[in-house]
């Protein structure tokens, strides 16, 4: 089959050959392009489906939502995932980083992963549900009189449940972990799924598709190097924790007995963790002393003259920004500019619009920290950590911090909470690393997957098939907010447009858009 022919799909599972045991063979692992015969010889059953999306999180969800609204039949789509609900992995990270359902997120009213039109936005829905004008007043006056409106986590999850039911999310799901995506000789892709043990006769199943889409989120938790070293050297995962991993024991212990906790990082997660620690003092009688260690201490606005006069405000260590990238990145002049930049210049600009640690400027957080500073339960320190070791009696963990004046101070703490982030490098993810090694994918100057403006993974074409990606793995590409609700929708829109241009789905023109929106409003099942 040459690149100009279309692939035909039988929709039937191809019978495994008697030769192989249904697992990957050395030959398959070592070969970049697979033939149907190679897969059959390994005894791996093949299932034909034109479009597969890997991950099953919010990125996969908005992609499928777009395709269904663009008229793709349900049997043409499969979601390969370990999740039941698209927000499961996200909700888990939110809970650990102290954003339970009742707390507000960090995206604006119209960033609605359940609704491609962004209307009615969350502020309107909240106003109607709670019979109050407050959310609307908030949106009209933000960010001058009020802080930015952001929806509650639970409201977003409920809305996604509704849309998932409407598009019949469960029918696309195939459970398991995806091991690799390889190009098929003759066009398209093989996506190898390892289903849960005992659910299939063979260890692997191959999904043979025309197109594939990858939205696998963050590869792993990321620790600061000194904290990683401490955890490995002393095998202590209790006193030094990452904000994104379960660490409720820290708050429980600090409520039982007074103690010092060190917080590292100055982004939104650090804000959340500090809020929880102060809330526990305010409402549960905790006597926690908080030591906040900064490496970069921001106390005056900063920017990059190269890109204009815009500056990010900063005070008392914190840099402030409403969202993870500037407002103009979502649909304004920063989005336009990014489309024109390449290489290092693009990397620098992305750093300008969103790089480094920053947090929303919220009144309640600032009040807590101001009170903490005045009452002495919130203290700040600045410096570079040289080493982290257990105290002699083992009751605490001691950080050796070199200050600006060159002196080293020891800071003992009962716990250290690392709020600095998640691992984004594709090399740390087995599936993405395999793409780099065997499917022609390369990295952009930011070290993530190099993608075109249609979010096709460059170098991985298998004509007439294409491989697309969205989410954190595509940071550094032609859109600044790729790892956000709106970013996932923007990318899904670019991918859908590319697919529509190839005739894979219909165009969502004015007529279709209005009629599909009416269906959304009436909650008509698709
Ligand atoms: C704590 C936190 C708060 C955030 N808050 C906001 C916010 O307020 N507003 C906003 O707009 N954005 C926010 N984001 C950013 C973004 O919206 C989320 O990260 C979103 O979940 C990204 O969706 P995703 O599909 O890329 O990843 P996920 O939702 O994480 O889904 C990826 C899924 O792929 C699975 N997977 C990985 N590898 C494989 C494999 N080999 N086989 C099968 N499955 C696999 C993972 O297990 C995971 O379930 C936040 C992110 C975090 C971490």
What is the per-residue pLDDT across 89-144, written as a single tens digit (0 to 9) for each?
999 999 999 999 999 999 999 999 999 999 999 999 999 999 999 999 999 999 99
What number is the average pLDDT over the span 415-420?
Answer: 97
Question: Which pLDDT score is estimated for 15?
Answer: 52
Would you call 160 helix, strand, or coil by DSSP? helix
Q: Kindly indicate the confidence band of residue 525, based on its pLDDT and cuts at 50, 70 and 90.
A: very high
Query: What SS3 class is residue 305?
Result: helix
Residue 21: band (very low, low, confident or very high) from pLDDT cuts 50, 70, 90 = confident
Q: What mean pLDDT comes out for the span 237-249?
A: 97
* Residue whose CA lies nearest to ligand 1 atom number 31: 57
Determine the pLDDT at residue 6.
53
Angle ∠(519,521,526) on CA atoms, nearest 5: 30
Query: Residues 426, 449: contact at Cβ < 8 Å?
Result: yes
Q: Which atom of ligand 1 is nearest to the CA of 269?
A: 1
Tens of pLDDT, residues 88-101:
999 999 999 999 99
CA distance 460 to 398: 48
How far apart are the CA of 88 and the centre of ligand 1, in A?
9
DSSP one-letter code for 55: E
What integer pLDDT is reported at residue 453 of this predicted model? 98
Closest CA to 311 of 303, 323, 320: 303
* 448 in Cβ contact with 460 (< 8 Å): no
CA of 292 to the centre of ligand 1 (A): 28
Which amino acids bring their CB within 6 angstroms of ligand 1? 54-60, 80-83, 89-90, 93-94, 97, 105-107, 111, 177-178, 215-217, 431, 471-472, 483-485, 488
pTM of the predicted model, to two decimals?
A: 0.95
Mutate to test the pocket of ligand 1, among 87, 101, 196, 217 (most ligand atoms within 8 A of CB): 217
pLDDT of residue 13 exceeding 50, the answer is no
- The predicted pLDDT at position 229 comes to 97
- pLDDT (average), residues 414-442: 96
How far, in Å, from the CA of 256 to the mean position of ligand 1? Answer: 34
Please tell me the distance between residue 194's alpha carbon and the centre of ligand 1 in angstroms.
21
For β-strands 46-48 and 205-209, DSSP reports them as parallel
In testing the pocket of ligand 1, which one of 159, 216, 327 has its CB within 8 Å of the most ligand atoms?
Answer: 216
- Please check whether residue 88 is in contact with residue 265, taking contact to mean a CB–CB distance below 8 angstroms: no
Query: How many angstroms separate the Cα of 259 from the Cα of each of 28, 227, 313?
Result: 55, 19, 33
pLDDT of 309 reads: 85
Q: What pLDDT is stored for residue 59 in this prediction?
A: 98
How far, in Å, CA of 86 to CA of 56, rounded? Answer: 6
> What does the pLDDT read at residue 470?
98
Contact partners, residue 520, CB within 8 Å, separation at least 6: 115, 117, 163, 166
CA of 281 to the centre of ligand 1 (A): 31
Task: Supply the residue whose CA is at minimum distance from atom 15 of ligand 1.
Answer: 484
What is the distance in A from the centroid of ligand 1 to the CA of 80?
Answer: 15
Q: How far is the CA of 192 from the centre of ligand 1 (A)?
A: 21
How big is the chain, counted in residues? 526
Q: What is the pLDDT of residues 204-235, one digit of tens each?
A: 999 999 999 999 999 999 999 999 999 999 99
What is the sign, positive or negative, of the torsion defined by CA atoms of 415, 420, 423, 425? negative
SS3 annotation, 185-205: CCCCEEEEEECCCCCCCCCCE
């Amino acid at each position: 089959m040459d690149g100009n022919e279309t692939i035909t799909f039988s929709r039937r599972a191809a019978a495994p050959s008697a030769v192989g045991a249904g697992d990957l063979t050395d030959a398959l692992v070592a070969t970049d392009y697979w033939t149907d015969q190679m897969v059959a010889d390994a005894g791996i059953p093949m299932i034909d489906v034109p479009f597969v999306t890997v991950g099953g999180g919010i990125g996969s969800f908005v992609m499928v939502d777009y395709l269904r609204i663009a008229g793709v039949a349900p049997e043409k789509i499969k979601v390969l995932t370990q999740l039941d609900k698209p927000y499961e992995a996200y909700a888990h990270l939110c809970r650990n980083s102290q954003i339970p359902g009742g707390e507000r997120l960090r995206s604006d009213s119209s960033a609605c992963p359940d609704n491609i039109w962004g209307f009615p936005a969350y502020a309107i829905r909240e106003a109607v549900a709670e019979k109050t004008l407050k959310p609307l007043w908030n949106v009209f006056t933000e960010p001058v009189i009020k802080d930015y409106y952001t929806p509650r986590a639970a409201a977003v999850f409920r809305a996604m449940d509704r849309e998932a039911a409407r598009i019949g999310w469960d029918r696309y799901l195939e459970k398991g972990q995806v091991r690799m995506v390889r190009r098929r000789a003759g066009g398209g892709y093989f996506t190898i799924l390892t289903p849960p043990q005992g659910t299939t006769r063979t260890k692997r199943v191959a999904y043979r598709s025309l197109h594939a889409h990858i939205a696998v989120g963050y590869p792993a938790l990321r620790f600061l190097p000194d904290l990683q070293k401490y955890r490995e050297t002393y095998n202590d995962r209790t006193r030094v924790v990452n904000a994104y991993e379960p660490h409720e024991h820290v708050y429980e212990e600090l409520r039982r007995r007074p103690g010092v906790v060190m917080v590292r990082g100055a982004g939104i997660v650090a804000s959340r963790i500090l809020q929880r620690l102060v809330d526990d003092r305010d409402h549960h009688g905790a006597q926690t002393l908080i030591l906040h260690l900064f490496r970069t201490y921001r106390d005056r606005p900063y920017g990059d003259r190269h890109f204009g006069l815009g500056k990010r405000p900063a005070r008392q260590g914190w840099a402030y920004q409403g969202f993870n990238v500037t407002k103009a990145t979502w649909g304004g002049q920063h989005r336009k500019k990014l489309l024109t930049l390449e290489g290092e210049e693009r990397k620098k600009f992305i750093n300008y619009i969103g790089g480094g640690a920053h947090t929303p400027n919220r009144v309640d957080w600032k009040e807590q920290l101001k009170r903490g500073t005045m009452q002495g339960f919130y203290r700040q320190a600045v410096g570079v950590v040289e080493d982290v070791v257990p105290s002699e009696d083992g009751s605490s963990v001691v950080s050796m911090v070199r200050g600006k004046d060159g002196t080293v101070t020891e800071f003992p703490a009962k716990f250290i909470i690392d709020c600095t982030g998640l691992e984004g490098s594709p090399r740390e993810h087995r599936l993405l690393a395999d793409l780099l090694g065997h499917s022609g994918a390369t990295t952009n100057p930011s070290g993530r997957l190099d993608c075109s403006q249609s979010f096709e993974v460059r170098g991985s074409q298998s004509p007439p098939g294409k491989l697309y990606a969205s989410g954190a793995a595509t940071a550094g590409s032609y859109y600044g907010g790729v790892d956000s609700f709106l970013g996932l929708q923007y990318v899904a829109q670019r991918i859908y447009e590319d697919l529509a241009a190839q005739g894979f789905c219909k165009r969502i023109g004015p007529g279709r858009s209005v009629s599909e929106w009416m269906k959304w409003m009436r909650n008509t099942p698709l």
